[in-house]
Structure 1
Amino acid sequence: MKSFIAAASILLSGFALLAEAHITFRYPCPRRGPFAECPQGDANLIDYNIRSPVGTHDSIVSPICKWSSSFAGVRPVFTAGQTVSAVMDIGAYHKGGSCQWTISYDNGQTWVVFQDQLKTCMADAGTSVNYNLPFTIPANAPSGPAIINLLWNNNEGNRELYSSCSDVVIQGTNGGTFSGLAPLIANYGPSSPLIKELAVSGGDYGQAYFAARKSITITVPKQTSAKRRSLNRPN
């Protein structure tokens, strides 16, 4: 009985943390997400604080993806050129902010921005809601396992960086290069660029920093026949 009560207390405290935090993917599922529709594993490894920022301008709280891997399970399959309606789980919307949609084919070592929504991203979301936020997979995206990541710098409140990483499979061209911009990683430790709170910055949401992002090109190897078949049966 005592062990049951202890386990229940841990579970409830986890949901309390989730309720107090701010924003995350709900779909596609974030790594180690606590949501019922997400792949599940060891209960002790579920991230009940998944809405929390990965850092502030004062400190780095966790790596960009928080976790180096997720639980085993089926990955969503997205086709190059497809528009996906992401579902954001929002505890506090901070009057919106700046979104950078990024993709990685090397487990988060290299990121390429493929879509932006600066200043107004989720500005009409409200609080304690599930919010639809569409993104479009680039038409020339190569095939393979990938991570889709949403980076978000909030307009109001502490100077924070939020990051939601989801493991997916892309079906597109068989190998090749893919180009875009390297993401701006701001408000992520004292050595990162500082984007000030919008209300006290005279409307400056970091325009100069976003404009200075550098071009980046990655090369994705061709998939073998066996690998292509496995992408049709993701696990």
Structure 2
Amino acid sequence: MKSFITAASILLSGFALLTEAHVSFRYPCPRRGPYAECPQGDWSLIDYNIRSPLGTHDAIASPMPKWPSSFDGVRPTFQAGQTVSATIDVGAHHLGGSCQWSLSYDNGVTWVVIQDKLLTCMADAVDGSAYSLPFKIPANAPSGNVIVNLMWNNNSGNREFYSTVADIIIQGTNGGTLSGVAPLIANYGPSSPFIQELALANGDYGQALFAARKPITITVPKKALAKRQSKTNRLV
């Protein structure tokens, strides 16, 4: 009985934290997400503060990605070229902001941007609601276990940096390259680029910073395909 009460207290306190936070993937399941869409895992691993920013321009609160892994479970599989109907759990939309979707094939060491929505991303979201925010996987994306990362810089309020990641499988080309730009990581510690609050910046949402992102190409090695063994009858 005592353990049940303790677990229930943890669950309720977690939802209280969620009500104070801002944005996260809901589908695909974010790492250690507290959602029904996620594989059920150890309660002690659930991140009930998953919608909070990773940091502000003053300080870094968490690394990116926040967690090195997620629960055990099946990753959703998507095809190269497919548009994924992602769902975002929005706590506070901060009058929108700038979103960058990126992929990593090396567990978050290297990222390549695959899609942008600058200035107006989630501007029409309703606080406390689920929000549809699709992204398209490049048609030439290599196959593999991949992390998809939605990074967001908010237009209003504290100068914050958000990142929500989900583990997926892409079925595409066996090996190859994926080119794009490295993401802009702004308002994430005092040494990062600074994007001013939109109302104070005369419409400057960091256009020059986004335009200056560096080109990047990632290479995914080709995997050897399993060979089928055939039996042949030999006459002796």
Q: Which structure 2 residues correspond to residues 191-210 of structure 1 after superposition, within 5 A? A: 191-210=191-210
Deviations 1:20-40 (A, max 9, x none): 100000001100000012012
Give 1:223 shift. Answer: 2.1
CA contact (8 A) 1:144 1:223 kept: no
Residue 162 (structure 1) aligned with residue 186 (structure 2): no
1:224, distance to aligned residue in structure 2 (A): 2.5
The equivalent of 1:15 in structure 2 is 15
CA shift, 1:19, in A, is: 1.2
| Correspondence for 2:60 | 60
Match of 1:99 in 2: 99
Aligned equivalents of 1:38, 1:72: Cα separation in 2? 10
Distance 1:169 1:51 in 2: 23
Structure 2: runs of 5 or more not aligned = 227-236
**What is the correspondence of 1:6-155 to structure 2 with a 5 Å cutoff?**
6-155=6-155
Please report how far the alpha carbon of residue 156 of structure 1 lies from its aligned counterpart in structure 2 after TM superposition: 0.7
Shift in Å at residue 7 of structure 1?
A: 2.3
Identity among equivalent positions (%) equals 75
1:177 equivalent in structure 2: 177
2: CA distance, partners of 1:52 / 1:170: 28
Counterpart of 1:140 in 2: which secondary structure? coil
- Amino acid of the residue matched to residue 107 of structure 2? N
Between the aligned partners of 1:8 and 1:23, the Cα distance in structure 2 is 24
Segment of structure 1 superposing worse, 68-77 or 36-45: 36-45
Distance between the aligned counterparts of 1:22 and 1:53, measured in 2? 7
Where in structure 1 do 4 or more consecutive aligned residues deviate above 4 Å?
none
Stretches of structure 1 lacking an aligned partner (at least 5 in a row): 227-235
Displacement of 1:11 in angstroms is 1.3
Does structure 2 conserve the Cα–Cα contact (< 8 Å) formed by 1:32 and 1:40? no
Q: Give the Cα–Cα distance (whole angstroms) in 2 for the partners of residues 3 and 147 of structure 1.
A: 35
Query: Which residue in the other structure is 2:232 paired with?
Result: none
- In structure 2, what is the Cα distance between the partners aligned to 1:121 and 1:212? 20
Q: Give the secondary structure class of the aligned counterpart of 2:134.
A: strand
Quote how far apart the aligned CAs of 1:3 are. Answer: 3.4
1:230 aligned residue = none
Structure exhibiting the larger radius of gyration computed from Cα positions: 2
Partner SS state of residue 16, structure 1? helix
CA RMSD of aligned residues (A): 0.9
Deviation at 1:9, TM superposition (A): 1.4
Distance 2:54 2:219 in 1: 28
In the TM superposition, residue 8 of structure 1 has moved relative to its aligned partner by 1.7
Deviation string 1:46-73 (CA, Å, 9 cap, x unpaired) is 0011000011101101111110001110
Alpha-carbon contact 1:56-1:158 (below 8 Å) kept: yes
